[in-house]
Amino acid sequence: MSPSPEASPQAQVVVLDTGGQYCHLIARKIRELGVYSEIRPSETPASELRGVRGIVISGGPASVYESGAPQVDPAIFSLGCPVLGLCYGHQTIAWHLGGEVQRGDRGEYGLAWLETLRPSPLFGGAEGRQQIWMSHRDAVTRVPAGFEVLGSTDTCAIAAMGDPARRIYGLQFHPEVVHTANGRRILANFLFRICGCTQDWDPRRQAERIQDGIRRTAAGRNVFFFVSGGVDSTVAFTLCLRALGPERVRALYVDTGLMRAGETEFVRNVFDSLGRGVFAVEDASARFLSALDGVRDPEQKRRIIGELFVDVQEQILASGHYLEGEWILGQGTIYPDTIESGGTAKADVIKTHHNRVSGIQRLIAENRIVEPLHSLYKDEVRELGRELGLPEELLERHPFPGPGLAIRCLCEESGKPVERLGDGWLAPLHSVGVQGDSRSYRPVLILDAAPEAPDLHERAVERINRLSEINRVIVALASHVPVESMTTSPAALCRTRLDRLRRADAIVREAAHRWGFECQVWQFPVILVPLGTPERPDSVVLRPVDSVDGMTARAVPLPDALREELSARLLAEDGICAVFLDLTHKPPGTIEWE
């Protein structure tokens, strides 16, 4: 819930939303530094921004030189307050003030290295060569009059620029993401050294404020949750339970048949510990599997699952069995769910989350939704859970997608062989990615390299930046046959393949827990892909990543002993031909493949 107007200070810094995936992350990072910030549309008139201490222009998926691209009011550059442009915002500043922006020969996605070129208050305490996070193909090729080039990378000659007299700065990279090493320092420099902000915001101790918001939204109505047992829905449910009392809040777990091994019992135990009589299980697996039979397209999968969730929910609620009287639906929606579904004004849809399909949008329009966590990120939700006293066993669980194993079980229409491409093989498997803040859906490159090679992730970054036809790079850890002899096979969702994935996922989770590796990563998806031989038609892709909030992620290598154990155990499973490791950061690859 957003803070109530009477509890919120005046925004010192306004973030202008040009549709970037990280727009809300910018505002959140500013609040973490103790400065209250708000997000407004990019075209907000300069007259409405008078009095703010600073303006940040976000990134976005468009090109500034295209018709219809998001714009800002040029008068903001004459307000006298500092302006910081990030990615698309950097290009917007150059475009409006007389510089040049052009399409680059190569994109730059994920980790890169910035070299600062001259002293600047923006880089105070953050000078020299440093790791940054990029996601762009367009680039500023000439700075406007009065600007200096402050930093560059091997691919981007103008990665940072500034006009110190007017206090206007542009960064092609993203200081707001955790993988930019000095990002926090750079933002702090802008806030305190350049804008002169004062600390007026404490992001901790939010439970009481959020519970007050729940009471206002509920307005005497009951709240019904369809819970997954993950961190988000459990924390949201607990907040509502404490705000409204057990007589007004109920939780139902819908078993879709798409869950991991042992999931239903784990969820039952968690909610039984929160209070007796507030939780029940509904077995809808036959209905979900029937609706998904033969479906291959990832967005269609998500739509079917999301809409069917709403249908099942409405039927259950209409029965009157679980709640009596007027009700509203509670959800554990967090910021990334709305952002990747195009939840900001101009954001590109990367993938439709199940809690943002049309049926849910209708409930939102009817004021029949309460989403206590919709302005928070995963790490903030975990901190809130600790404030509520929830057990660490729950709070440290790896995120699991609402659509379940359905989006980790890839499908294909036809069979095609892999093709040689440079020093690898192009696999005719398509996965979802995010490149330059836009959705991509492209084939996967299998790197021709040994799994123990020390520079695998660096090579993956280079290939994705160079090869526009791919958005993801993997490497074979072990295989029954040479990679070059593999083909995809026509495959859809079915019980056989879902059970195969469920067994593989259970093997990986057990081993990762026993080796202590699950504590070293933020999430460890296991993907089943229809690539192999007629006798063994599927392969497994391991996707361990490190992240803070799911907005960006770093692909993590596997320890040798764990890699060898997982390869041996997975290859022994019926129908599995090979085991691969995903080397792709986010961006350009989303954490999930679909």
Q: CB-based contacts of 462: which residues, under 8 Å, 6+ apart?
A: none
- Angle at the Cα of 208 from the Cα atoms of 202 and 211, rounded to 5 degrees: 125
Q: How far is CA 567 from the centre of its chain?
A: 28
CB 575 within 8 A of CB 533: no
Q: What tokens appear for 461 in the block? A: 């970054």
CB 591 within 8 A of CB 525: yes
Q: What tokens appear for 460 in the block? A: 């993956």
Distance CA 384, CA 239 (A): 9
- Residue of 263, 275, 209, 204 lying closest to 238 (CA atoms): 275
Catalytic residue annotation: 87, 174, 176
Q: What tokens appear for 369 in the block? A: 């939704």
Which segments of 325-482 are extended strands (E)?
327-330, 369-370, 419-421, 424-435, 438-447, 472-479
Q: CB-based contacts of 46: which residues, under 8 Å, 6+ apart?
A: 73, 75, 76, 78, 79
One-letter amino acid of 460: A
3-state SS class at 175 = coil
Distance CA 25, CA 2 (A): 15
Q: What tokens appear for 16 in the block? A: 């202008």
Distance CA 436, CA 430 (A): 18
Alpha helices in 391-475 (DSSP H): 392-395, 456-466
Distance CA 333, CA 338 (A): 8
HSE, CB side, 13 Å, CA atoms: give it for residue 522.
18
